[in-house]
Amino acid sequence: SHGRGGAGNISKEHASVEASDLKTPTIKAPTYTTGRGGTGNMAVNDPSHPEVARAAQDTEAPICHEKLAKGTYHWGRGGEGNMVTIGSADRREEEEK
C-alpha cells in the first residue's frame, strides 16, 4: 500500500527500475530552441552529440534566488513543524547588543 490509506492506495508491486530506464532523454527533432524564443535561438541538432543540445538548454538559477532570505516560511499541510524562521539568530544577536 502507499499514500494515506484507503482501497485506492493498494496495488501490485511494480517491477524494479532498471538503469536503462534512467537514461536522460534526448531531442529527436532536427532543430531545437534555446533561450526565450525567436529564430536566433534555433540550433541544428546533431544526433551524434546529444550532450551539446542538452547543455544549450540547461539554465542557471536567477541571481535573485541567491539572496539571503529572512522571515518565517511555511510548507506542507500546516502545523508548527512545517515552519522555519530564517535569519532569527542574526536578529537575536542584534537585539542583545
* pLDDT of the chain, 97 residues: tens digit per residue: 566 766 677 777 776 766 766 777 888 899 988 877 777 888 899 989 988 888 887 766 656 555 566 777 777 776 777 777 777 565 555 556 5
- The answer to whether position 16 is within a domain reads no
Count up the domains in the chain and report the number. Answer: 1
- The answer to whether position 4 is within a domain reads no
- The answer to whether position 17 is within a domain reads no
Interior/surface letters 18-37, b for 16+ CB within 10 angstroms, e for the rest: eeeeeeeeebeeeebeeeee
- The answer to whether position 37 is within a domain reads yes
Q: What is the pLDDT of residue 5?
A: 67
Q: Domain of 34?
A: 23-96
Q: What is the pLDDT of residue 69?
A: 65
Q: What is the pLDDT of residue 48?
A: 92
Q: What is the pLDDT of residue 91?
A: 52
